[in-house]
Amino acid sequence: MVKRVFVSGTKRFENAIRMARAFNRDEDGGVFTIFVVLGFVLILATAGIGVDIMNFERDRTSLQGTLDRAVLAAANVKQTLPPKEVVISYIEKSDVRGKLTEEPDVFDNPTIGSRKVTAKAKVDVNTHFMWFFGYPTLTASVTSVAEESIGSLEIALVLDISGSMGRASATPGKTKMKALQEAAIQFVNTIYLGEDPDKISISIVPYNNQVNAGANILDHMPGVTTEHSYSHCVDFADTDVEDQFKEPGIDPNKTLNRTAHFDPFGKGDRYDREAHTSSVCTTRVGSSITPLTNIVSDLHDQINAMTAGGNTSIDIGVKWGAALLDPQFQPVIRKLSNQNANASLVIDPTTGLDADGNEPKKVVPAAFGNRPLLYESNVKKIMIVMTDGQNTSNWVLDENLRDGLSDVWYNPNTSYEKNYWNCREYYDWDAGLWIKYNCGGRLRRSGEYSVQISENPPEYLYTRRGTRGHSEPFNEEGESVRLTYPELWNRVNLDWNAEYNYAFLFQRTRDWYNNAFTTIGSGTKNTRVNDICGAIKAKNVDVYGIAFEAPEAGATVIKNCSSGDGFYFKVNEGGTLGDNNLSLSQVFDVIAVSIKQLRLTQ
């Protein structure tokens, strides 16, 4: 009999489940132990790799810090040891692990006083765990770069010498001018202390209602007109066609009107106040520009010679300060660096030396013959603008009265005495002349003016004698000479000229005083300051502003001119600077220290 057996698939599955449950209940099995061992090994390996990385970073940062200090020491332009040896010695004598991978690279530029040092090093760090994965060592490579640059400094001091500077300051016993002089002298001393003077040039631009550039400068500016040489200022163009206050520099070849040498100030129509006494362009000692120099004694002399007088034109002061920092002015400075300061000094044409065998002093030291340097060169340009006031009026003579022959003749070989004091007057229409009467006092004046009333028929007024109808200039005692306008304005002020030389005109004051010049007001001047300061700051020039006991309007102009926070200082009526209580001298000290900070890059 054949016996058949049938085995179901379901039955087999149930057997497999029973076996799995039995394995799960069996705690004496070795499978769980294998999982635990593998997890422990993984944790240990991860921790070991972390230790290796920590050791690597420790040695890397130690080497980086040591190399940084080494290249900084080597880049110091004042140390005399060879820079490469400084880096090598620094690494060798330190306890740091690692070594230089190549010789340090040194770039010296003695012309501008800078040094750049680059060094590379590496350290091999042995691993304790990563070698299991094929990494027995880790290599850390580091690079350090240090550049120290004293570089070249060009500084323009734009200093207020207007009339208000003669008033008492908040410091007892000192005028504002005295306080400024002490502060500026200390500034100069601080700037040059411990420095190479051939790297630092300082220009001083005193300003009131104009800037006296001085004959030395204007003589080397071919574009400046030459109608007179009584004074040495220029009038900058400010028109729709050309606005020179929007340009940082002055092109010496470009046409510039020399400021007319005239006195626009009213004299009360007094006969005894004839002379030109207060020129628009000041000529007093201490008022002219001192161009780029490093001669401390000359800078001291200039500062001490400054005196107070005149109105305030911050715009013109800043314009000249900017020009002395702008490369366009190089041709002028180059010529001044070849010009003897003492024009009367006898020089041997063969040796170029004076009678004592010395090289003659130049207007600008030879070291600065290539300045102002290009903006993009390694030079720091600084302008410091100081005022105790605000922009006031300035005056420009009418173009028709600047040059050429006037209608006035002058005979110096005679004199005339007349009553002149407290006169009354009226215009005599029949005589065609202002008549003065009931005058007191008597005054004798030299010379006689003859003013042409008409050419055909010829008619002249004799000014001192007060008579007209003469057919020729006064020639009774010597010969009269026709004056040019510059010669006339050098002799008489505008008020006197209108009142007496043109006494035959009913509208003498309107025609020969009010219409003789244009007044430039504070609003226009404030805009000009903003324009020129913006132009010079766009060239990366740092502008420091000092409002020294100045009114709010002036302080605002100076603040806007400055380079912003940290560059503007307000010394108020109490002689303080906010909560810091800084005096004017301290402000200049703060600026000097800021300028002298070395520029280091790593």
Residue type, position 198, single letter: D
Distance of CA 307 to the CA centre of its chain: 22
CB 309 within 8 A of CB 284: yes
Strand intervals (E) in 430-537: 433-437, 440-454, 459-462, 467-470, 481-484, 517-520
| Token reading at 146 | 């240090």
Tens of pLDDT along 252-290?
A: 999 999 999 999 998 888 999 999 999 999 999 999 999
Closest CA to 154 of 307, 45, 285, 291: 291
Q: For helices 296-305 and 176-192, give the axis angle rounded to 10 degrees.
A: 170
**pLDDT-based confidence at residue 561 (cuts at 50, 70, 90):** very high
Rounded Cα distance, 72 and 67, in Å: 9
| Alpha helices (H) in 82-141, listed in sequence order | 83-93
Q: Tell me if the domain spanning 152-229+255-260+281-334+366-394+520-601 has CATH number 3.40.50.410.
A: yes
Specify the range with the lowest mean pLDDT, choosing from 298-312, 464-478, 560-574, 586-600: 586-600
**pLDDT-based confidence at residue 111 (cuts at 50, 70, 90):** very low
Let me know if 348 is exposed, middle or buried by CB neighbors in 10 A (0-12, 13-18, 19+).
exposed
Tens of pLDDT along 68-100?
A: 888 888 887 667 788 888 888 888 888 778 888
Q: For helices 314-323 and 522-537, give the axis angle rounded to 10 degrees.
A: 20
User: What is the mean pLDDT of the segment spanning 315-341?
Assistant: 97
User: What is the mean pLDDT of the segment spanning 522-526?
Assistant: 96
Please tell me the predicted confidence (pLDDT) of residue 601: 36
Residues paired with residue 461 on neighbouring β-strands, in sequence order: 451
CB 303 within 8 A of CB 188: yes
User: What is the mean pLDDT of the segment spanning 2-22?
Assistant: 50
User: What is the mean pLDDT of the segment spanning 121-125?
Assistant: 83
Mean pLDDT of the chain: 87
Specify the range with the lowest mean pLDDT, choosing from 37-41, 52-56, 404-408, 489-493: 37-41
Rounded Cα distance, 152 and 170, in Å: 36
Closest CA to 554 of 325, 317, 396, 382: 317
> Residue 6: pLDDT above 80?
no
Closest CA to 442 of 416, 415, 419: 419
CB 382 within 8 A of CB 544: yes
Domain boundaries, the chain: 44-149, 152-229+255-260+281-334+366-394+520-601, 399-515
The better pLDDT of the pair 236, 171 is held by 236
The better pLDDT of the pair 98, 232 is held by 232
**pLDDT-based confidence at residue 8 (cuts at 50, 70, 90):** very low
**pLDDT-based confidence at residue 62 (cuts at 50, 70, 90):** confident
| CA-to-CA dists, residue 327 to 292, 320, 323, 370, 384, angstroms | 13, 13, 8, 9, 18
Tens of pLDDT along 196-216?
A: 999 999 999 999 999 999 999
**pLDDT-based confidence at residue 9 (cuts at 50, 70, 90):** very low
The pTM of this model reads 0.77
* CA atoms in the 13 A half-sphere facing the CB of 276: 21
Spatial neighbors of 182 by CB under 8 A, at least 6 apart, are: 174, 585
Rounded Cα distance, 143 and 82, in Å: 20
Strand intervals (E) in 135-247: 137-149, 152-160, 200-207, 234-235
Tens of pLDDT along 346-394?
A: 887 887 787 777 888 999 999 999 999 999 888 899 999 999 999 999 9
Please tell me the predicted confidence (pLDDT) of residue 266: 86
| Token reading at 267 | 């004299």
Q: What are phi and psi of 136, to 5 degrees?
A: -75, -25
Please tell me the predicted confidence (pLDDT) of residue 486: 98
Spatial neighbors of 523 by CB under 8 A, at least 6 apart, are: none
Closest CA to 448 of 428, 470, 432, 429: 470
| CA-to-CA dists, residue 373 to 152, 154, 299, 424, 461, angstroms | 9, 9, 21, 63, 57
Tokens 């009584």, located at residue: 230
> Residue 186: pLDDT above 80?
yes
Q: What are phi and psi of 510, to 5 degrees?
A: -60, -50
Specify the range with the lowest mean pLDDT, choosing from 35-44, 400-409, 515-524: 35-44
Direct distance between the N- and C-terminal alpha carbons of the chain, in angstroms, rounded to an integer: 104
| CA-to-CA dists, residue 423 to 269, 508, 562, angstroms | 10, 17, 53
Please tell me the predicted confidence (pLDDT) of residue 577: 59
Please tell me the predicted confidence (pLDDT) of residue 600: 34
Q: What are phi and psi of 144, to 5 degrees?
A: -130, 140
**pLDDT-based confidence at residue 599 (cuts at 50, 70, 90):** very low
